[in-house]
Structure 1
Amino acid sequence: MIVVVDSNFLQNPMLETYFNESATNKVVIIDYAAMEAFKGDTLTSVVKSTAILRRFPRQVLIAHGTKTVGRLTGTREEIAKAMINDEGTAEFREFSAHLDRYERGVRPDGVERQLLDTGRWATDHLNAAQAENANLLDVFKELTDGIFTKEEISKIRRGEQEEGWVAKGFGLVRDLASDLLSRHPDGSVKLDPKDYYNNFIFRMSLCVFVQLMDWIRVGSPSALKPARLLNDRVDAMFATYGTYFDDVLSLDKQMLRTFWETDAILRFVYAREHEK
């Protein structure tokens, strides 16, 4: 199995059990998990967060960041393979050996400075992401205003499926994905229609839509606090990566629900497409 592991699961004994069950059981580490491991009190945090991973370095795969994976095309399996950063994976094994020695007190010049610099970068990056969320509510308001009727919102809150709002929802996902693809940092991404459902940005947009439905069920998106928005944004990243692999290991029930619902929608869509 190959699963994505959430940062909140890195110190869980069940992760060690998963590794011990089979040498072919591997985990994928995304950039947000790495940032969570380094942020705050870096020298303490990174040692604790990587303790289990460092005992199984050959079962750890490092993923490319979202800027890279957002441009990938192909089948789900082809994209999953291309998502793995071979150089980063090899570097993690070296890093594990260095950190093991650091933990034992063998500390070459520059190691602490490098760890602390990485910790500051991780903290700054997460703080910047939280600052960006200040405009996120306006984006959602603009996307959703006038799309769903009061009756449709009532049905969403009651958990009722209805062809009208579901169709509108998929239109919203496509609009959001198209907008993000057009504004990719490395230039606009053009997709063949057959590759659309496999693209990372489309799947991330679908995750965000699933979260939006959850927000509507419990109240108004405008009532959400920036910290909650940041948490949901990070959850969407873990869930999106998870749709390319076998599962997600996490203690966050809400994030797992986002992953399961998104994965179920994708499987349903693929089944419908296959019937045509």
Structure 2
Amino acid sequence: MITLLADSNALRHPGLKAYLQASRDHAIALSDQTLVEMRKTRALSTSRESLQIVAYYPQQSYALRRTHEMLGENIASKEQAHLLFDYEATAYLTDLSRRLLVLPSPLGLAEEMTQHEADAQFIMARLTEEVSTLEPGLVSAAKDFTQAELMQIRTMKDVTDGTRRKLLDLLKETTGSFILQNQEPGRRAPMLLRDAMGQFAFRYSLCMLLYYMEWVRIGRQTGKKLPLRVNDVVDMQLAATGTYFNGVLSADANLQIISNTARGVLRGSGAYVGEDWRVPQPAEEGDRAIGDASPTDPG
């Protein structure tokens, strides 16, 4: 089965229908962050529009376990990636998508979506607090790389042993900090790199580091407004989770760059990454096509 992780905007793109129609072996997965993005404002109307594709293709749509529930998983194969599916949440999502299409709205649906909206806003508020202290350390770490090293990582071409070692050493540090803060606060035992690379903590740390390395590479200044940084962090979580599957379905160019680069870094380090997949696009869509789920020429 080909599985693409879809962001909230991609769910409304006509190219997605072509992808699902092409084969019953084509599927989409929705993360908890995608659902939060969908529900944080006007949850009822936004979800009604975004989840139409799920209602039409319920057998090809899946909900993933919440991010905090997958932290301890070490995914090293395509078969193990299925451990990230939440089949109970999937059943609820497909049922909800059908009820959202019923007009007038079924009894209790408005209240149900109001609660979803409140929950999403709470999660975004908590994430905002966490992100507010995140940027300085990552920017500082990214500045340790020269422009030549940044380009090697960005393109995954002619990467020297020194650059690879420098990146992995930094990732060990950032991954360890993430695990101690969010996963195993009392952990003292070291973790083998091959085990760390299969965990979300490592892949999320990689995506966040790549994100700020790209900032440094193009000379962008820090100080981006906090709400926008929060949105970027959500995107990096999608990019990290997408490495377990066949790619990320999104029109966001920056998200695609980080996703593709992370997949290349992980694959080059011997970690499991889902096979890359290019989304077939209907001819009439032209330049409205969703970005590829497969790596593109960075040049």
Q: What does the per-residue CA deviation read over 1:166-191, in whole Å, with 9 as the maximum and x for residues that have no partner?
A: 42222111111111112235655664
Q: What's the counterpart of residue 274 of structure 1?
A: none
User: Partner residue of 1:32?
Assistant: 33
> How many angstroms apart in 1 are the aligned matches of 2:259 and 2:268?
14
Cα distance between partner residues in 2 of 1:144 and 1:17: 39
Amino acid of the structure 2 residue aligned with 1:112: A
Within the candidate set 101, 112, 115, 2:113 is matched to 115
Q: Map 1:152-171; keep pairs closer than 5 Å.
A: 152-156=145-149, 161-171=159-169
* Deviation digits for residues 195-246 of structure 1 (CA, Å, limit 9, x no counterpart): 2211111111111121121011122563333233222211111111111111
- The aligned counterpart of 1:13 is 14
Q: TM-score, normalised by structure 1?
A: 0.86
Distance in 2, Cα, partners of 1:227 & 1:167: 34
Query: Distance in 2 between the 1:179 and 1:259 partners?
Result: 22
Maintained 8 Å contact 1:37/1:50: no
8 Å Cα contact 1:130-1:230 kept in structure 2: yes
Instruction: Please state whether the residue corresponding to 2:62 is helix, strand or coil.
Output: strand
2:270 aligns to what SS in structure 1?
A: helix
CA shift in 2, pair 1:134/1:187, >3 Å? closer
What TM-score comes out, normalization by structure 2 length? 0.80
* Matching residue of 2:259: 259
What stretches of structure 1 of length at least 5 have no aligned partner? 272-276
Deviation at 1:123, TM superposition (A): 2.4
Q: Deviations over 1:113-135 (max 9, x none)?
A: 11111112212322332233221
Aligned partners of 2:215 and 2:221 also within 8 Å = yes
Q: Cα RMSD between the aligned structures?
A: 2.4
Q: Which residue of 1 aligns with 2:275?
A: none
| Alignment gaps of 5+ in structure 2 | 154-158, 272-299
Paired residues of 1:3 and 1:28 also in contact (CA < 8 A): yes
Segment drifting more, 37-46 vs 83-92: 37-46
Structure with the higher helix share, 1 or 2 = 1
Give the fraction of aligned pairs with identical amino acids, expressed as a percent. Answer: 22
How far does the alpha carbon of each residue in 1:126-180 deviate from its partner, in whole angstroms, 9 at most, with x for none?
23322332211233256557xx2xxx43434666855444422221111111111
Q: Check whether the contact 2:142–2:209 (CA below 8 A) recurs between aligned residues.
A: no
Report the equivalent of 2:62: 61
